[in-house]
Structure 1
Amino acid sequence: MKKILLVSFLVSTSLFANIYELKPIDITKNIRCFIGDFNPPTKSNKGFVSNVCYIDKGDSIVVIEPGPTYNFAKELNEYIKKHNGKKVTQVIATNFHDDRYTGASYYKQNHIPIIAHKTIVKELEENPDKFTRIPSVTTKEQYANSKVVQPDILTDERYVIKGSYLNIEVLKLSPGSNSASDISVYVPKEDFIFTGNTVFNGRFIKYGKYSDIDNWIKALEKLQSMNIKYVLGGHGKEYDKNSYKNNLEYLNILKSSVKKAYENNIDRQDIKKHIKDEKFSFYKHFDSLSISNAKTYYDQLQWQ
């Protein structure tokens, strides 16, 4: 009988155990973040591959990124309740990608306003295939209640969330970078900015079919002009003021090299030979992404 009770207890405990085991880093006294895995979604990381933060604005908490699943968002909110004891009043989604946005279903269910840029509505509508990755690497239980929902508050160039201790600014640094809906979250009082997918480190930058190289460079140049002390990207654990600089240098190399090769009628299959980006080869996934980035931008030039 004791053995049966013990087995039953262990089974019930495993069912309700945390899936993600969140490990925080404190950027400032009022900003705590959780660093995502440097790989694409896998069974081991369960889709937690991008950074998530929360900000204590005095009277309440604001979360940056809904996260990859309903259960991720639920665990994060339980963590906040345990460690901060304050109510979460808003969540900001910095773009439409599945690893950042799917957890919005938790916030929607709990009537916590979801803030995103106005372009996210079109991106969600046009990219349903973007939301097939995480269900394929999680169990039904892990992905339970996760679904794509609509945001509640749509921003444009700037949106301010006021707090009793500090204010939070949701900024559009340029019309688009990695995606059209990319936004950043700036906390002037803490000299901190969360850039979402405008900045990558720890893993190589991804230039996708919806990326805009000119505006991405503009966004990084705008970031440079702001001279902020703490700059945390959407991927990677670096958050010093120079954490974006390799991205800016690489995108300028990608733009000039591919453009020159295209104008010289270099075949698409040979494009990699003409990109001088070896100095970034220490980044995770460099070999595969360096090639795909060059080909993607080459394809965009063909349609300009």
Structure 2
Amino acid sequence: MLEVIENKILVFWFENFASNVTAIELSDEVILIDSSLYPEKLKKIIDLVQLRTKKPVKKIFLTHYHPDHSFGAIFYGELEIILSEKTLIKLFDYSDKTLQKISDESDYNFLDLQKRLSKCNFNVFRNENIITSSKTIISAISLGGHTEDSTIYKIYPENIIISGDIVVSGVHSELNEANIDNWIKILEELSKQDIKKIIPGHGKPGSTELFKTQLNYLKTFKNEGKEKLLGSFKTYKYPELLLNF
């Protein structure tokens, strides 16, 4: 599905709960945030965005290192990849065993990740980064929570958040490596802010109600365990690639 927000933000979200890809139209270019798992899918999105906006796509920003958010860009290999230092370190840390598992589950050969990484054009920031263009400001903030390297992107003056998997909509979160207490703290702080729209890592964009639902999900898991979580969120689906739950 394609959802257009404020006439300049294109959100590609998927009914099979694959990871979302967001395109932001700036004055002279379009930037992407997150890339999907497959490079061929990313190329189709780029072609559609360029056809619609008549502007080039040359840069992509990543929210975290998980393959369904990053591998599309890495294996596509033609974009400048802007990411946090923590995300870059995590990408280089994939083991052959994990890459084999990802390849088997996705029916795509990702085993040469290290070679692909060595050829990428990376632009690395530490904890925060600000991008400005005409009337648009995009602020990147590395917060952790879902993963150690999880980064959110705030778009001003529209007050829109692209959350990565810190918030998901209608889909189970991957919790295996999460810092649940920090994740809850992050969401509670974001809930106090003036935010008009949330673009989650998976699922349909929505209002700040998504913060409340994600908090309920995490607190249920923390206080009552996985069995209660699955019982309370029976309608939730599993994302396209879920290696640990």
Judge same fold: TM > 0.5, yes or no.
Answer: yes
SS of 1:219's equivalent? helix
Paired residues of 2:30 and 2:58 also in contact (CA < 8 A):
yes
In 1, the alpha carbon distance for the partners of 2:99 and 2:165 equals 17
Aligned twin of 1:279? 232
* Number of residue equivalences: 236
Letter in 2 for 1:186: K
Match of 1:24 in 2: 2
- Tell me the CA shift for residue 125 of structure 1: 2.8
Instruction: Pick from 86, 94, 103 the counterpart of residue 55 of structure 2.
Output: 86
What's the counterpart of residue 72 of structure 1?
A: 41
1:232-284 deviation line (CA, Å, top 9, x unaligned): 110111422211211112212322335xxxxxxxxxxxx73xx4664322222
The Cα shift of 1:139 comes to: 6.1
Unaligned runs of 5+ in 2: none
Partner residue of 1:177 out of 130, 145, 163: 145
Matched, 1:162 2:140: no
The answer to whether the 8 Å contact 1:231/1:242 transfers is: no
Letter matched to residue 221 of structure 1: E
Residue 69 (structure 1) shift: 2.0
2:29 aligned residue (52, 57, 60): 60
Aligned residue among 31, 34, 37 for 2:12: 34
Q: CA deviation at 1:136?
A: 4.8
CA distance, structure 1, for counterparts of residue 98 and residue 212 of structure 2: 28
Partner Cα separation in structure 2 for residue 180 and residue 117 of structure 1: 11
Q: Which structure has greater strand proportion?
A: 2
Checking the alignment, whether the CA contact within 8 Å between 1:94 and 1:184 is kept in structure 2 is yes
Candidates 186, 193, 209, aligned match of 1:242: 209
Q: Which amino acid aligns with 2:175?
A: Y
Q: Which has the higher helix share?
A: 1
What is the CA–CA distance in structure 2 between the aligned matches of 1:246 and 1:134, rounded to whole Å? 32
RMSD of Structure 2 on Structure 1 (CA): 2.8
- Structure 1: how far apart are the matches of 2:202 and 2:62? 14
Please name the residue that 1:223 is paired with.
190
Which of the residues 155, 159, 181 maps onto 1:187?
155
Matched residue type, 2:155: V
- Give the deviation of 1:55 after TM superposition: 0.2
Q: Describe the SS at the equivalent of 2:63.
A: coil
Q: Structure 1 stretches of 5 or more lacking a match?
A: 1-22, 40-48, 259-270, 294-304
Give me the identity figure in percent: 23
* Cα pair 1:104 1:148 within 8 Å, conserved: no
Preserved contact between residue 171 and residue 203 of structure 2 (Cα < 8 Å): yes
Of 199, 204, 217, which residue of structure 2 is paired with 1:232?
199
Distance 1:130 1:239 in 2: 33
Question: Which SS does the other structure have where 1:114 is aligned?
Answer: strand
Helix, strand or coil at the partner of 1:119: helix
Change in 2 beyond 3 A, CA 1:122/1:139: closer
* Mapped pair 1:114 → 2:114: no
Indicate yes or no: 2:122 matched with 1:152: yes
CA contact (8 A) 1:59 1:165 kept: no
Specify the SS of the correspondent of 2:157: helix
More RCO (CA 8 Å, sep 6+): 2
The structure having more radius of gyration, on CA atoms, is: 1
**Is the alpha carbon distance of 1:256 and 1:53 closer, same or farther for their aligned partners in structure 2, counting shifts above 3 Å?**
same
Is the Cα contact below 8 Å between 2:167 and 2:211 reproduced in 1?
yes
The answer on whether the counterparts of 2:217 and 2:229 sit within 8 Å (CA) in structure 1 is no
Change (3 A) 1:205 1:136: closer
If the length of structure 2 is used for normalisation, what is the TM-score? 0.84
**Can you list the C-alpha shifts for 1:132-191, whole angstroms capped at 9, x where unaligned?**
425654467xx8x9875256122233211111231111122x3x2121111111102222
| Distance in 1, Cα, partners of 2:38 & 2:229 | 38
